[in-house]
Chains A and B, each alone.
Chain A
Amino acid sequence: MQYFVQQLINGLTLGSIYGLIAIGYTMVYGIIGMINFAHGDIFMVGAFTALIVFLVLGALFYSVPIVVALLIMMVVAMLLTSLYNWTIEKVAYRPLRGSFRLAPLITAIGMSIALSNFVQVTQGPRNKPVPPMVSKVYDIAGVSVSLKQIIIVVVTAILLAIFWYLVNKTALGRAQRACEQDRKMAALLGIDVDRTISITFIMGAALAAVAGTLFLMYYGVVVFSDGFTPGVKAFTAAVLGGIGSLPGAVLGGLLIGFIESMWSAYFSIDYKDVAAFSILAIVLIFLPSGILGRPEVEKV
């Protein structure tokens, strides 16, 4: 039982990170109907930014309280990563809006290749290990919970609350939901569609940057190719939850996290990714629009 609860906590931690990335996929898909393939690499850029900021802080000051350091890392990563996603949207996706379906997908894949190789060229191809930032571990009734895990879950929860508020209660969120339903109509009613889409990309990137910072803190190492696997899994999570649905993305992320940690714990750690992908295929076969997705109505 304790072992099971332990895995549940591990899965929750992993799932929080996937969920944060998945929101970026699902929002972009909801609003312009494209798979932003570069989003996984945006996450990696976020993690790298956090790494560099961490090293800069270490070089500038003798010692910084870790809470302050994490906060600064997160904020800088959010800002710079948003700038990346904003620029990418402007350069590579916007000119192709309204072009045929595969065109933005190809530029997104191109951007993904370019981003990871840009980081490889500028920062070197080797693993970048950082000293452990938070190492406290609590023991609660035989289950060990590390402070890292608590931070991840709490930060995720706070961000999701802010995010929920932004999307559901503000004018900005209303504009986003309007664009999602009908872009042309929204434009006719005076919504600046381009600006709304830009902000969507910025929000997705900011959440991915936080996920990147948390990833760096949790695993203590990052490498230029780290964007792909978490990116694909987060996208899997978004599809699993029903692409276009925000609660679905979080739910999907958590599910993927649970599946992965349970599979590694009870079956075989080698095949954990195979399990996650197989479950995706099975869910889609029986529930083609995901768990919380709206079924697509076929129009003739």
Chain B
Amino acid sequence: MAVTVTPERDVVATPIQRALREAFYAGAISLGLFVLFIGLKTDQNISNELILVQRWGLLAAVVILTAVGRFLYVGFAQPAMERAKAEKAQAPAAAVTAPGFLRRNFNKIGVAVLLVYPIVIVLLVGFQGSLKWVDNFGIQILIYVMLAWGLNIVIGLAGLLDLGYVAFYAVGAYAYALLGTHFGLSFWILLPAAGMMAAFWGVMLGFPVLRLRGDYLAIVTLAFGEIIRLVLINWREVTNGSAGISGIPKVTFFGLMSFNVSDPNYIAKVLGIAQSGAYYKIFLYYLILGLCFLTAFVTIRLRRLPVGRAWEALREDEIACRSLGINTTTTKLTAFATGAMFGGFAGSFFAARQGFVSPESFVFLESAIILAIVVLGGMGSLGGIAVAALVMIGGTEILRELDFLKAIFGPDFTPELYRMLLFGIAMVVVMLWKPRGFVGSREPTAFLKERRAVSGSFTKEGHG
């Protein structure tokens, strides 16, 4: 439904003339947008009064950059893209090649890479050097993969828009933190317990919102997430408020070996190897990888069960679903409970990994990031979601490492500051570039005689 009105002068004007005009507009708009925010900076002086610092040079640079960028885009990039498109349209359609080796075996290769990743890192940089790579990249990304796969059950399969998913993550984390510190229960008992508790809260949330749909559901789940966070902040007797809970026990190697240096069964003593903090990180890496695989396995199997089919039917058309005799109440509740359970698993893992939880970790931004990963990956596609998590979380983590930029922009330049700014812009850009996510097509789960892709125009969310 793209209604583009082309004024006559656009037809007459050469691309360069048009580009110049567009560049002028872009420059003028960015001048308007940035004149107060970049041109001036509010700062506190010694007596704590606000003063203005002038930065007109920076403003000029930004405005000129915007104008030049727009000029290049309209003048050169756009005509080139249109030419490429026209050539593609004229070329014979026989060019549909079979997907390459990498594409066909994408999932297998991905699993293999994930399995050997810590080993390769340790071989390359040694145990000490591996800490950062296994922890900041490996574990961090896998936590988001797991959360996104959990949320995928609610949004991608059942089509229920949940903006408060982080609440279940919080329930899982606090369940392990509280029960682990007060009663000394082991992670292996509390992991299922945390999952069950989160699933219980999933049902608790599910009941009142059964009648709501679409955006109303979104806002109530958002409110629910905020309520949980506010209760965590204010119920100081139990949760210790914003100060959080620290000293959460580490995971043990199934009770056989421990990762505390002082324990008699410390892993290095048992196995007779040198002490290192890296063992624990590598163990955690394989633990979260195992949890991710569990999530993926359950998701894939559930899609073949009646309940999974019912979820997908519910996503496509609730009324048709009901008229076919599917009980939408239980269908919705199981979706909420299953999604929440994996959120709870991820939460208790998070608490064990950090050794510290506070309400700060469970803000709405986290829900938004998880949702963004699910949508950017292509809803319902596990591989696409994993790629999206890798790009979005890995990308922002890499920004922490870009120390060489300090050499270019001076010592005051901190790339971390720009992390979330770039994250937000990346969300917009990726969405504009691929509105249906990285993997826009899904294999249908139920089919008659042969698998055939269903066009996106017949389905609500994505192809398939």
Contacts and interface: CB of A to CB of B under 8 A. Distances in A.
Given A97-B1, A118-B421, A107 B44 contact: no
B448 interface: no
Nearest to B428: A110
Contacts of B212: 284-285, 288
7 contacts: A52-B42, A55-B42, A106-B375, A114-B425, A117-B424, A194-B3, A300-B319
A270 B234 contact: yes
A121 B418 contact: yes
B424 A114 contact: yes
A114 B435 contact: no
B156 to A, nearest CB: 10
Contacts of B418: 117, 121
A181 to B, nearest CB: 17
Given A103-B435, A274-B227, A98 B1 contact: yes
Contacts of B22: none
A214 B379 CA distance: 41
Contact of B227 (A96, A106, A278): A278
A248 to B, nearest CB: 14
Nearest to B363: A228
Interface string B215-230: 1101110111011001
Contact of B428 (A107, A129, A232, A280): A107
A47 interface: no
Contact of A55 (B50, B371, B428): B50
**Closest 9 A/B residue pairs (Cβ):** A110-B427, A114-B424, A113-B424, A277-B223, A117-B421, A98-B1, A270-B234, A110-B428, A99-B435
Given A55-B50, A106-B431, A243-B215, 8 more contacts: A80-B32, A100-B436, A103-B436, A106-B372, A110-B427, A120-B421, A280-B220, A285-B209
B449 interface: no
Interface of B: 1-3, 5, 29, 32-33, 36-38, 40-44, 48-52, 161, 208-209, 211-212, 214-216, 218-220, 222-224, 226-227, 230-231, 233-234, 319, 364-365, 368, 371-372, 375-376, 379, 417-418, 420-421, 423-428, 431-432, 435-436, 456, 460-462
B376 A271 contact: no
A143 interface: no
Contact of A56 (B52, B218, B420, B425): B52
A171 B267 CA distance: 77
B368 A109 contact: yes
Contacts of A128: 42, 50
Nearest to A82: B32
A28 to B, nearest CB: 12
Contacts of A300: 319
A121 to B, nearest CB: 6
A239 to B, nearest CB: 5
A281 B164 CA distance: 13
Contacts of B52: 52, 55-56, 59
Contacts of B226: 232, 273, 277
Contacts of B376: 106
A48 interface: yes
Contact of B372 (A59, A101, A109, A298): A109
Contact of A236 (B223, B368, B456, B461): B223
Contacts of B233: 270
Given A83-B32, A106-B376, A284-B220, A35 B371 contact: no
A87 interface: yes
A111 B432 CA distance: 12
A49 B37 CA distance: 8
Nearest to A117: B421
A144 interface: no
B33 A80 contact: yes
Contacts of A35: 215, 218-219
A78 B172 CA distance: 44
A95 interface: yes
A109 B372 CA distance: 8
B462 A100 contact: yes
A106 B371 contact: yes
B50 A49 contact: no
A96 B425 contact: no
Given A109-B371, A117-B421, A284-B212, A98 B431 contact: no
Interface in A249-300: 270-271, 273-274, 277-278, 280-281, 284-285, 288, 298, 300
A51 interface: yes
A140 to B, nearest CB: 34
Contact of B417 (A120, A270, A277): A120
Contacts of A193: 3
A2 interface: no
A111 B424 contact: yes
A59 B45 CA distance: 14
Contacts of B40: 52, 55-56
Nearest to B462: A100
Contacts of A56: 40, 52
Nearest to A109: B368
Interface in A114-143: 114-115, 117-124, 126, 128-131
A92 B428 contact: yes
A119 B37 contact: yes
Nearest to A48: B37
